[in-house]
Structure 1
Amino acid sequence: MPKTDAGATRRILLVEDHPVERAYLQNMLLALGYRRVAGLGSSTEAIGALSRQFYDVVVSDIVMGEGDGTRLPNELRRLVDAGRLKSMPPIIWISSLSDELLQSHVRLALQAGCPSAQALSKPVSRAAMQHAIKAALRSVDEYDAASPRPNAVRRDVMEVALGHALITGKGMSVVLQPQMSLSTGRVLAAEALSRWEHPELGVISAADFVPAAHRLGLDRMLFSRVTDRVIELLRRMHAEDIAVPIAINASASTLCTRDLPGLLEQRVGQAGLPARLVKVELTEDEPVTDWLALSSVLNLLRVRGFELAMDDFGAGIASMRLFSAMPFTELKIDRDFIVHMHREPASRAVVAAAIEMGRVLGRRVVAEGVEHDRDIQLLRELGCDVAQGYGISMPLEPDAFIEFCRSH
């Protein structure tokens, strides 16, 4: 049994849709000495909770009535990539499925990037749960030891500083990840990634401050600050006759405001820039709650000349509906499919289908997370011409990005 004080510091998220089983497992974890146990009834709720609060371990059922547990690994990966989650937590699956299916889900979690994954057959014994939790926490400690991070900043201190930084713009900057044509080697566009350096707290990871902005309701203000930096950079590039569009990430809630298209058009116009150089990239890190409002804003942005990209295509359950119903000009294939397309026929099939869909509909298709020459070769074979990732270029500071554009 863990020491009470150690158990009191660990946060465990329990995802089980059956209320009686959920209560039973919560009581079991409490009896084992873990005092911070949150119980939720679906993976949809779990993803929302994880975007607001870090948990050391996730214990999840697989088959649930609402929000199938199978979604969790990819959704967690997406939260990490979007900067809304610091790191992937270990997953302990609990289910009455066959051992073959349980082990398949273990592989799924590991492939997504979880530091460890285990599977327990229902009914779960207290001894099995105790062993699994200890192994999961050990994997987290080993991962942290192997990947030292800067000293953690107190959340409340960071949140106060973030509000001030977003109001004043001080310390806020962007880096640019280029998107390149695989056939010509030319830079076609870039994605702006936000950065924050505080004079006393130092460099604060986007994995910390982006979720904080979401918790504090400052998403729109963060979007505004990134827009300021992007427009400033585009003005410099425009003066040098470098016409490379730059994408700005925005959540559905950020976009679901009627005044955004007009304000964005005004700011771009005042800078003397054509709207086509600013691309709005919809992230799927939160569910769409008002489809009509989102559709209205996206259509207005397109009418005003802005390009629209859909991030992480295929990762979320709403991907197909979003892409078919909204006026996107570009879809970006989720990096998880790119990473696994060489050894998983299903991932390769998704990539091929997305490329063909883009071709038929006349939309640009961008492969994210391209890291190796073999990725580039296979994407060429499948007919995808645009890619971004460390195999193309790491994110670049503005000056370095301009130089990169000059040479490509």
Structure 2
Amino acid sequence: MILHTAVPNEFKALGVITLTADAACAHRFANVLNYLGVTPQTNISSLSVVEHYLIDNPVDVIVCEIHPECDAGLMLPSLLKRLHEDGTLEQVPSIFWTGEITMSAPARLVDGERLFDQAVPSHHFWIKYMGGVTVSALESHARLARAAGIHVEILREVGAQELVDALRAAVLTRAKNDPMRHMETFDSLAEDEVINALTTGEGLRFVFQPQFELLSRRVVGAEALVRWKHPHFGEIPPSVLMPLVNRLGLDLLLFSLVEMWTLRVMLALKRENIWIPIAVNASAKTICTPQFADRLAARMHQAGLPTRLLKIELTEDVPEPDELYLSASLTAIRAKGFQVSLDDFGTGAATMNLLANLSFDEMKIDGSFVRDVGRHSSSRKVIGGIANWAELLNLSLVAEGIEDESTIPLLHRLGCRVGQGYALARPMEIDAFLSFITQKEVSQQS
């Protein structure tokens, strides 16, 4: 795998070890971590050795493989909890779980044999596994670990961006536990400074990542993203920022800020006679805000922009308990001429159900499958299946998280026509994005 991101020195102070009994896996972990400026202290192959190592060595992060033949990663939270409770560990390391992703149909027992049940409704048909364990079971286990004070991240695969975000979260956790680095608790920091950032714009940046037709490399769209640079902690990863925004009830405010800057970019492109749709992420809670579709349409009409240029990407970070109301809200948005996309297809337990029961114009394949496509046949089969499904449902398809140039022809052969990721273009500041799109348009017309 070719990585297209690196953050030198940012993680240099982190103490990281890896936990896997497989030498090839340990080597892969070390390569990725070294690329990101982290030098793993050691690789450990068993849980008992981890215990002895932690007694004598401070560790901030343990990256471990989930594998059906080894339960060390699953048992690790219990070990850390025990060592912390008996006073052996003052600071509990963060745990990053990773492993091969596969998907399978559920099986039932008939006369002692396991048979795939083809009669299962489509939205329950596929089950997602990591290292032989269902992802839903891993998520439940991770929730219990977090409730016990053990920070666990599920990194579907050790890819560049996911690992960067998780390491940044570990840096924040480390700073929280170090009173010399900051006198406030992270919770008070988050509430005070997230509110300040969203109400004043201080430290916020709005960046845009182009989406390309994979075969021609023509720009066919973009996604608007928000970044927050904290004055002490630096770039705060979305995996940390978004839960704080949602917990504080600021999701609609954040959407409105991203929407405002997106409209400004659209107007600048309009002056160059460039018309490409730009996607903005929105949770189900935001989409279900009363008169959401009316307000969006009014803003677009006031700006003199067709509604088809603004795409709403439904995220799963804040699920809507009333699926009927969510369906009505999405239908109202589409009735106004907006496109609606299902973000991160394949993650979370509800995506199949959402796709089966609600109407969309597009779905985006989660980057964990895309990053694996060159290495694992299971990922290729899943992506090919998703592409066929999208065609049957008359949905556009976007492959996210393309980090390796060599996977682009393969993705195209599997049925992905459009994609985004670091191998194509990184997220850009507004001026750089406008310049990039304008130059691309000129070169495509010549």
Q: CA deviation at 1:58?
A: 7.5
- 2:85 is aligned with 1:30: yes
- 2:322 is aligned with 1:267: no
Which residue of structure 1 lines up, in the alignment, with residue 94 of structure 2? 56
- 2:437 is aligned with 1:405: yes
Q: CA deviation at 1:254?
A: 1.8
Which residue of structure 2 lines up, in the alignment, with residue 239 of structure 1? 271
Letter in 2 for 1:162: V
What SS does the corresponding residue of 1:373 show, helix, strand or coil?
coil
Q: Contact 1:173–1:229 (CA<8 Å) still a contact in 2?
A: no
Q: Contact 2:245–2:251 (CA<8 Å) still a contact in 1?
A: yes
What TM-score do you get using the length of structure 2 for normalisation? 0.61
Structure having the higher helix fraction is 1
User: Matched residues in 2 for 1:206 and 1:319: separation?
Assistant: 23
Tell me: CA distance 1:162–1:338, structure 2 relative to 1, closer, same or farther (3 Å). Answer: same
What SS does the corresponding residue of 1:312 show, helix, strand or coil?
strand
Q: Contact 2:308–2:339 (CA<8 Å) still a contact in 1?
A: yes
Letter in 2 for 1:355: A
Q: CA deviation at 1:242?
A: 1.1
Tell me: CA distance 1:384–1:160, structure 2 relative to 1, closer, same or farther (3 Å). Answer: same
| Structure 1 residues 119-138: aligned runs within 5 Å | none
Per-residue CA shift, 1:111-164, capped at 9, x if unaligned? 57898xxxxxxxxxxxxxxxxxxxxxxxx89xx9xxxxxx77953234313212
Per-residue CA shift, 1:282-334, capped at 9, x if unaligned? 11234442211211111110001111111111122221221122221111001
User: Matched residues in 2 for 1:358 and 1:33: separation?
Assistant: 52
Q: Contact 2:208–2:225 (CA<8 Å) still a contact in 1?
A: yes
Letter in 2 for 1:205: I
Which residue of structure 1 lines up, in the alignment, with residue 73 of structure 2? none
Tell me: CA distance 1:367–1:206, structure 2 relative to 1, closer, same or farther (3 Å). Answer: same
Per-residue CA shift, 1:231-265, capped at 9, x if unaligned? 11111111221111111111122222222111111
Tell me: CA distance 1:57–1:370, structure 2 relative to 1, closer, same or farther (3 Å). Answer: closer
Tell me: CA distance 1:73–1:204, structure 2 relative to 1, closer, same or farther (3 Å). Answer: farther
User: Matched residues in 1 for 2:368 and 2:237: separation?
Assistant: 20
- 2:378 is aligned with 1:346: yes
**Among 169, 175, 188, which residue is 2:207 paired with?**
175
Q: Contact 1:153–1:201 (CA<8 Å) still a contact in 2?
A: no
User: Matched residues in 1 for 2:83 and 2:138: separation?
Assistant: 28
| Structure 1 residues 15-94: aligned runs within 5 Å | 30-31=85-86, 33=88, 56-57=94-95, 70-71=134-135, 89=152
User: Matched residues in 2 for 1:286 and 1:167: separation?
Assistant: 21
Q: CA deviation at 1:221?
A: 1.1
| Structure 1 residues 97-246: aligned runs within 5 Å | 111=158, 155=186, 156-197=188-229, 201=232, 203-207=234-238, 208-246=240-278
User: Matched residues in 1 for 2:432 and 2:395: separation?
Assistant: 29
Q: CA deviation at 1:168?
A: 3.4
Q: CA deviation at 1:34?
A: 5.4
Which residue of structure 2 lines up, in the alignment, with residue 312 of structure 1? 344
What TM-score do you get using the length of structure 1 for normalisation? 0.66
User: Matched residues in 1 for 2:398 and 2:354: separation?
Assistant: 17
What SS does the corresponding residue of 1:254 show, helix, strand or coil?
helix
- Structure showing greater relative contact order (alpha-carbon pairs closer than 8 Å, 6 or more residues apart): 2
